[in-house]
């Protein structure tokens, strides 16, 4: 390890409202002891008083630029001395004694990287030797920044400990799917949850499932009927995947068994989240929208009702920038395309292409991000085990990273819909397909066609008999990239 010959000590007097900071005397003694152990001669002690922590004023940075910052003359003097080479090592007590403002940390990182000096801290929370040290410091400061505004920090500690050790937190109403003890599965209710999960993932709306449950006289825990809210809460709960949650963040494996597996849980989160944001709306009446293209102008066809449930057509809607010149009968076209898609689903080469997955650059990059985050999670837990960070810091940093992994995973799932895997895994592909909702059918069709470099079908103008008479020869496969063979 790099050694210092002229080290600086940074200690900070805090007004210490949280009652957990060491006094300046102890900080200095501990930091001095660490410098002695490292064999770094200390040439200067920088003592800061942060009673003015929220007063800002203009500061001149090492590169000469001016910014509004918390007034920290001693910290600025330290940076200047590192920059000029008069200090070649830094010992601090704890990360939060060095920087509360992320921009102060960035200034320190800049200076330390330029001067290539070693940094150590008594609690081990600040080391800037590697990229992962720097990442940890950034996370630590972001968290300290957050928690300095959080008055109830210590009250939460007990819950945090319970949360991290994976025990049931007791209290409150019984959770649907589990007995009153919170850890024993209620098999009957667990079956309901699994069935509902499958139906949501197949594209059914939560409210239609609720109506069905009410009709079957299946009751929720306390109410007399289901609401979309109560069912959504259950399906989105990490609890049913055997995950312990604290403050809305997954903090680890729970002490109770899972009702659904992890991948189902992730798919549920992604699906319900997308619906809440108005994407992938479950109510899609006609699944060939966006799969049929006009043979005259190249616009996509959209469905329009001709009055009555079964009477509808797909046409190049002139009110939606189409030419209005092409239309085709709805039900027969759907039946034709349905047979085509089911045919694709039975072909070994198509299944092989789907199984390989779509290794586009985007999903490749996402996988890489997830791996990096998972690596960071392992490092974090090691740092916690070695007492380099506190439980609070561990739990919060973990929450931040897991949130990131969660959203990355949902973007991966958006690329390969779960319906496709479900359809492929079923024994009778045709039957499973028929049971799908329109939204799920469209997803499956687009994925299957996409794996073959296809976008859908081009519909040629009607030759004789008008659009109401179905003529399958008007439909031809459309290649990805807009080339269509009419």
**From the CB of 462, what's the least distance to Zn ion, in Å?**
13
Is 439 a binding residue for Zn ion by CB under 5 A? The answer is no
- Residues 345 and 423: beta-carbon distance below 8 Å: yes
Nearer to Zn ion, 291 or 350 (CB): 291
Nearer to Zn ion, 388 or 458 (CB): 458
β-pair partners for 10: 46, 92
**From the CB of 315, what's the least distance to Zn ion, in Å?**
8
How many whole angstroms separate alpha carbon 441 and alpha carbon 99?
54
Among 299, 442, 474, 478, binds Zn ion (CB under 5 A): 299
* Segment near Zn ion (CB under 5 A); pick from 26-34, 90-98, 296-304, 474-482: 296-304
Residues contacting 193, CB < 8 A, separation 6+: 176, 177, 234, 235, 240, 259, 260
SS3 447: helix
Nearer to Zn ion, 200 or 460 (CB): 460
Nearer to Zn ion, 76 or 484 (CB): 484
The token pair at 330 is 């709805």
Which residue from 275, 271, 294, 273 is spatially nearest to 283, judged by alpha carbons?
275
Mark 265-294 with x for binding to Zn ion (rule: CB under 5 A) and - for no binding: -----------------------------x
Measured torsion, CA atoms of residues 330, 333, 337, 340, in degrees rounded to the nearest 10: 160
Mark 302-341 with x for binding to Zn ion (rule: CB under 5 A) and - for no binding: --------------x-----xx------------------
**From the CB of 324, what's the least distance to Zn ion, in Å?**
7
Task: Kindly provide the b/e burial profile for residues 216-240, where b requires at least 16 CB atoms within 10 angstroms of the residue's own CB.
Answer: eeeebeeeeebeeebbbebbbbbbb
The token pair at 338 is 């349905």
**What are the strands, taking DSSP E only, across 157-289?**
243-246, 249-253
Nearer to Zn ion, 129 or 297 (CB): 297
Nearer to Zn ion, 198 or 324 (CB): 324
* Segment near Zn ion (CB under 5 A); pick from 175-183, 299-307, 328-336, 369-377: 299-307
Please give the size of the binding site for Zn ion, defined by CB under 5 A: 7
Is 296 a binding residue for Zn ion by CB under 5 A? The answer is yes
Nearer to Zn ion, 237 or 317 (CB): 317
Among 129, 276, 297, 352, binds Zn ion (CB under 5 A): 297
The token pair at 130 is 């590697």
How many whole angstroms separate alpha carbon 233 and alpha carbon 86?
59
Is 419 a binding residue for Zn ion by CB under 5 A? The answer is no
Contacting positions for Zn ion (CB under 5 A): 294, 296-297, 299, 316, 322-323
């Amino acid at each position: 390890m790099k050694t210092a010959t002229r080290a600086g000590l940074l200690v900070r007097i805090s007004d210490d409202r949280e009652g957990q900071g060491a006094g300046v005397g102890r900080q200095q003694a501990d930091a001095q002891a660490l410098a002695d152990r490292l064999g770094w001669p200390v040439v200067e002690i920088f003592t800061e008083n942060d009673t003015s922590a929220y007063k800002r004023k203009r500061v001149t940075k090492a590169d000469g630029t001016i910014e509004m910052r918390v007034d920290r003359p001693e910290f600025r003097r330290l940076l200047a001395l590192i920059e000029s080479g008069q200090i070649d090592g830094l010992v601090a007590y704890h990360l939060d004694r060095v920087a509360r403002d992320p921009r102060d940390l960035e200034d320190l990182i800049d200076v330390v990287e330029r001067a290539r000096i070693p940094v150590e801290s008594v609690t081990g929370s600040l080391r800037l030797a590697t990229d992962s040290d720097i990442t940890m410091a950034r996370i630590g400061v972001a968290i300290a920044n957050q928690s300095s505004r959080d008055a109830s920090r210590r009250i939460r500690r007990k819950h945090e400990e319970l949360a991290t050790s994976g025990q049931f937190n007791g209290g409150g109403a019984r959770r649907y799917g589990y007995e009153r003890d919170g850890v024993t599965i209620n098999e009957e209710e667990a079956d309901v949850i699994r069935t509902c999960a499958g139906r949501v993932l197949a594209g059914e709306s939560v409210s239609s499932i609720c109506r069905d449950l009410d009709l079957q006289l299946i009751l929720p825990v306390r109410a007399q009927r289901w609401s979309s809210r109560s069912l959504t809460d259950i399906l989105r709960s990490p609890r049913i995947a055997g995950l312990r949650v604290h403050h809305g963040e997954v903090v680890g494996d729970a002490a109770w068994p899972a009702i659904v597996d992890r991948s189902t849980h992730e798919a549920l989160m992604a699906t319900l989240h997308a619906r809440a944001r108005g994407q992938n709306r479950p109510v899609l009446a006609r699944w060939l929208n966006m799969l049929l293209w006009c043979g005259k102008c190249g616009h996509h066809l959209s469905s329009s009702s001709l009055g009555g449930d079964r009477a509808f057509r797909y046409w190049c809607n002139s009110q939606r920038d189409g030419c209005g010149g092409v239309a085709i009968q709805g039900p027969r076209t759907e039946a034709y395309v349905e047979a085509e898609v089911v045919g694709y689903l039975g072909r070994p080469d198509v299944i092989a292409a789907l199984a390989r997955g779509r290794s586009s650059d985007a999903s490749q990059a996402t996988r890489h991000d997830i791996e990096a985050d998972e690596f960071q999670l392992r490092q974090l837990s090691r740092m916690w085990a070695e007492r380099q960070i506190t439980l609070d810091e561990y739990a919060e940093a973990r929450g931040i990273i897991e949130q990131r992994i969660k959203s990355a995973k949902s973007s991966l799932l958006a690329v390969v819909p779960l319906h496709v895997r479900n359809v492929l895994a079923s024994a009778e592909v045709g039957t499973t397909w028929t049971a799908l909702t329109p939204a799920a059918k469209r997803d499956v069709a687009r994925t299957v066609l996409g794996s073959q470099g296809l976008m859908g079908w081009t519909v040629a103008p009607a030759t004789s008999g008008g659009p109401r008479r179905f003529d399958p020869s008007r439909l031809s496969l459309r290649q990805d990239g807009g080339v269509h063979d009419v």
